[in-house]
């Protein structure tokens, strides 16, 4: 049994007066890809936002590598080793590509390791290297997604959370992103992934949870869920 | 030359408005009062504690930075998630509070500001007699503006400021302690206001608790003309307003009494014709 990196227990969150999460529990084992799938408004993003500290939980507990992080502030959580690729990429358009990357490394003090990681993300995303002085806002959608992933990696996270990384991308780019996710996992980064593209997510996920109106209704290995009749009907658009 | 001088002071003050607006979407009405406080701090250091000039200025500017940080901590931070109008009303309240506190403690009677010799000396330049203040003020202002640009565009905290101004939440996700960055922004803006106030007092050496109001409004106009939220724009706007104000007096001496009205007419025209300001950008969404 692998070590658990992230453990979420009985999480309740109210969001703008709505009971958005009604007791979500999940765990992410070391070195795996865990997917969270579900319809719009099921509470996927809220789950990630609560883990990252942007939203406060009403009840429940989140622990990362054994430490309780439920009450921590977002910047402390990044320092501890959780990075997020936010939904819609959220690149800083007024900052250069290089500045976007350096901002991702804001918490770091080791300039040598930082340089090494810059080289590392440039080998992962060679296209970014050609554009270091360009403003983030001038990149294409696909390049912005690459930058969002690269930026998150710059904090050397042990857990990477990705919110809809394939949203709005052309099919070819979607495949590229998923290849990179798999590659990152092979490099030892644990990944918690949210996707509307349930098929692609389940194909690469070791384990997956299905979220429906704030509750986990189904969980299992990615491949198994892919064959599950309920999942096929509800999320893969099959009759 | 006088226009450049006044303009550079407006620029110093306008940057404080624009920095805070860029980050919080808030017009910090108390900014012009920090400008006033700077002169009083320096005044008391020189006249009461008999400290040397350079030290008095330094202490005055540092105190201004602390006042700015305190205002943010006490008045604005609790309202971070409140509707904008609440923060705006609070800003007006803080401004009135400081002004009236000034009236009660130091009195409404203007005080003479002790200028350093450097500013009073008369130099002969190309046959014209020029007082030191006329060219030292813009020179000092411009050096400080350059230092500011360095901070905003070349340092880590400056990078964080620019990031917060665009997307506060995502900046948090980058591991940036946003509240601290906001505090630094207030410190920076307030320090500039303090310097601006002291230089203003060197130029017009009479200080009173309400002296910040008009320069504050004009600097705010400058920030809007330049495109509020934009640091380069604020500087540009400051020089434009300063030059415009002095030129109208120079060319139409009969209109001297209208110089303030003229500045606000520029504000109204800009708001009608180009509300984004000179450097204002149009938000675009990319897919």
Cβ contact B137:B8 at 8 Å: yes
Provide the pLDDT for residue B236. Answer: 94
Per-domain residue ranges for chain A?
1-81+159-239, 90-156
Cα end-to-end span (Å), chain A: 37
B287 has a pLDDT exceeding 70: no
- Is A86's CB within 8 Å of B173's CB? yes
pTM score of the predicted model: 0.91
Mean pLDDT of B136-145: 93
Measured between alpha carbons, how far is B167 from B121 in angstroms, rounded to an integer?
49
Shortest CB distance from A92 goes to which of B166, B178, B287?
B166
Sign of CA dihedral B184, B99, B114, B141: positive
Measured between alpha carbons, how far is A141 from A91 in angstroms, rounded to an integer?
10
Provide the pLDDT for residue B275. Answer: 83
Give tens-digit pLDDT for B4-44: 899 999 999 999 999 999 999 899 999 999 999 999 999 99
Looking at the complex, report in whole angstroms how far the Cα of residue A71 sits from the nearest Cα belonging to chain B: 15
B102 has a pLDDT exceeding 70: yes
Angle at B196 between CA B195 and CA B200, to 5 degrees: 120
Measured between alpha carbons, how far is B174 from A70 in angstroms, rounded to an integer?
18
pLDDT top residue among A10 and B134:
A10
B284 has a pLDDT exceeding 70: no
Confidence of residue B104 (pLDDT cuts 50, 70, 90): very high
- Complete DSSP assignment for B215-276: HHHHHHHHHHHH-TT-HHHHHHHHHHHHHHHHHHHHH-GGGGGGHHHHHHHHHHHHHHH-TT
C-alpha pair distances (Å), B148 with each of B144, B166, B228: 6, 19, 17
pLDDT top residue among B187 and B258:
B187
Measured between alpha carbons, how far is B206 from B211 in angstroms, rounded to an integer?
9
Shortest CB distance from B159 goes to which of A86, A103, A144?
A103
- Is B156's CB within 8 Å of A102's CB? yes
Q: Express as a percent the part of chain B with pLDDT over 70.
A: 97
Q: For the stretch B9-38, what's the b/e string if a residue is b when 16 or more beta carbons lie within 10 angstroms of its beta carbon?
A: bbbbbbbbbbbbbbbbebbbbbbbbbbbbb
Q: What is the dihedral of CA A42, A43, A45, A47, to 10 degrees?
A: -150
For chain A, the C-alpha Rg in angstroms (whole number) is 17
- Complete DSSP assignment for chain B: -HHHHHHHHHHHHHHHHHHHHHHHS---TTHHHHHHHHHHHHHHHHHTS---HHHHHHHHHHHHHHHHHHHIIIIIGGGTTS-HHHHHHHHHHHHHHHHHHHHHHH-SS-EE----HHHH-EEEETTEEEEHHHHHHHHHHHHHHHHHHHHHHHSHHHHHHHHHHH-HHHHHHTT--HHHHHHHHHHHHHHHHHHHHHHHHHHS-EE-TTTTHHHHHHHHHHHHHH-TT-HHHHHHHHHHHHHHHHHHHHH-GGGGGGHHHHHHHHHHHHHHH-TT-SS--------
C-alpha pair distances (Å), B172 with each of A67, A195, B47, B181: 20, 23, 45, 11
Provide the pLDDT for residue B283. Answer: 45
Residues of chain A with Cβ-Cβ distance to B286 below 8 Å are 93, 137, 141, 144
Q: Which CATH superfamily is domain A1-81+159-239 in?
A: P-loop containing nucleotide triphosphate hydrolases (3.40.50.300)
B133 has a pLDDT exceeding 90: no
Q: What pLDDT tens digit does each residue of chain A (239 aa) get?
A: 468 999 999 999 998 788 999 999 999 999 999 999 988 888 999 999 999 999 999 999 999 999 999 999 999 999 999 999 999 999 999 999 999 999 999 999 998 999 999 999 999 999 999 999 999 999 999 999 999 999 999 999 999 999 999 888 888 889 889 999 999 999 899 999 998 888 889 999 999 999 999 999 999 998 888 888 888 877 776 65
Looking at the complex, report in whole angstroms how far the Cα of residue A80 sits from the nearest Cα belonging to chain B: 10
Provide the pLDDT for residue A183. Answer: 93
- Is B163's CB within 8 Å of A104's CB? no
ipTM score over 0.85, yes or no = yes
Measured between alpha carbons, how far is A196 from A200 in angstroms, rounded to an integer?
9
Would you say domain B2-273 falls under CATH 1.20.58?
no
Cβ contact A236:A65 at 8 Å: no
Looking at the complex, report in whole angstroms how far the Cα of residue A110 sits from the nearest Cα belonging to chain B: 14
Nearest-Cα residue of chain B relative to residue A75 = B175
Confidence of residue B285 (pLDDT cuts 50, 70, 90): very low
For the packed helices B178-203 and B213-226, what is the interaxial angle rounded to 10 degrees? 120
Provide the pLDDT for residue B281. Answer: 59
Q: For the stretch A23-32, what's the b/e string if a residue is b when 16 or more beta carbons lie within 10 angstroms of its beta carbon?
A: ebebebbebb
Provide the pLDDT for residue A238. Answer: 62
Give which of B148, B115, B142 is closest to B42, Cα–Cα. Answer: B115
Query: What is the token pair recorded at B266?
Result: 């520029």
CB contacts < 8 A, A to B, total: 67
């Amino acid at each position: 049994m692998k070590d658990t990196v992230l453990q979420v227990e009985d999480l309740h969150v109210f969001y703008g007066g709505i009971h958005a999460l009604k007791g979500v529990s999940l765990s992410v084992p070391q070195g795996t890809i865990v997917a969270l799938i579900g319809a719009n408004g099921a509470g996927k993003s809220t789950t990630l936002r609560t883990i990252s500290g942007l939203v406060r939980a009403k009840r429940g507990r989140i622990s990362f590598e054994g430490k309780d992080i439920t009450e921590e502030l977002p910047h402390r959580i990044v320092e501890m080793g959780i990075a997020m690729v936010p939904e819609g990429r959220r690149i800083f358009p007024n900052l250069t590509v290089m500045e976007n990357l350096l901002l991702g490394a804001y918490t770091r003090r080791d300039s040598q390791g930082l340089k090494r990681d810059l080289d590392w993300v440039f080998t992962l995303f060679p296209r970014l290297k050609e554009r270091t002085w360009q403003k983030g806002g001038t990149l294409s959608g696909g390049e912005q997604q690459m930058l969002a992933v690269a930026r998150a990696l710059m904090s050397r996270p042990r857990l990477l959370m990705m919110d809809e990384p394939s949203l709005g991308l052309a099919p070819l780019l979607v495949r590229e992103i998923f290849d990179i996710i798999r590659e990152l996992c092979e490099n030892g980064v644990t990944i918690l992934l949210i996707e509307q593209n349930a098929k692609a997510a389940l194909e690469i996920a070791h384990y997956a949870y299905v979220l429906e109106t704030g509750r986990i209704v189904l969980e299992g290995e990615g491949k198994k869920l892919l064959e599950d009749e309920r999942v096929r009907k509800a999320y893969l658009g099959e009759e | 030359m006088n226009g450049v001088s006044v303009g550079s002071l407006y620029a110093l003050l306008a940057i404080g408005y624009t920095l805070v607006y860029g980050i919080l979407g808030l017009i910090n009405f108390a900014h012009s009062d920090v400008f006033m406080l700077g002169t009083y701090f320096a005044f008391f250091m020189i006249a009461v504690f008999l400290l040397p000039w350079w030290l008095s200025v330094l202490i005055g500017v540092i105190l201004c930075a602390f006042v700015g940080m305190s205002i943010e901590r006490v008045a604005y931070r609790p309202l971070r998630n409140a509707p904008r109008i609440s923060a705006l009303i609070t800003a007006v309240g803080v401004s009135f509070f400081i002004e009236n506190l000034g009236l009660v403690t130091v009195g409404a009677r203007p005080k003479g500001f002790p200028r350093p010799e450097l500013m009073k000396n008369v130099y002969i330049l190309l046959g014209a007699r020029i007082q030191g203040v006329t060219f030292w003020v813009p020179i000092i202002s411009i050096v400080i503006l350059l230092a500011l640009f360095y901070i905003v565009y070349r340092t880590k905290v400056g990078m964080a400021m620019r990031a917060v101004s665009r997307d506060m939440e995502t900046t948090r996700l980058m591991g940036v302690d946003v509240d601290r960055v906001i505090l630094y922004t207030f410190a920076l803006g307030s320090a500039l206001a303090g310097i601006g106030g002291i230089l203003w007092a060197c130029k017009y050496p009479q200080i009173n608790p309400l002296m910040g109001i008009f320069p504050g409004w004009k600097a705010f106009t400058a920030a809007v003309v330049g495109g509020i939220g934009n640091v380069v724009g604020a500087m540009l706007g400051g020089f434009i307003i300063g030059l415009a104000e002095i030129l109208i007096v120079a060319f139409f001496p009969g209109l001297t009494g209208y110089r303030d009205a003229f500045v606000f007419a520029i504000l109204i025209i800009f708001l009608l014709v180009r509300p984004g300001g000179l450097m204002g950008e149009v938000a675009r969404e990319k897919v």
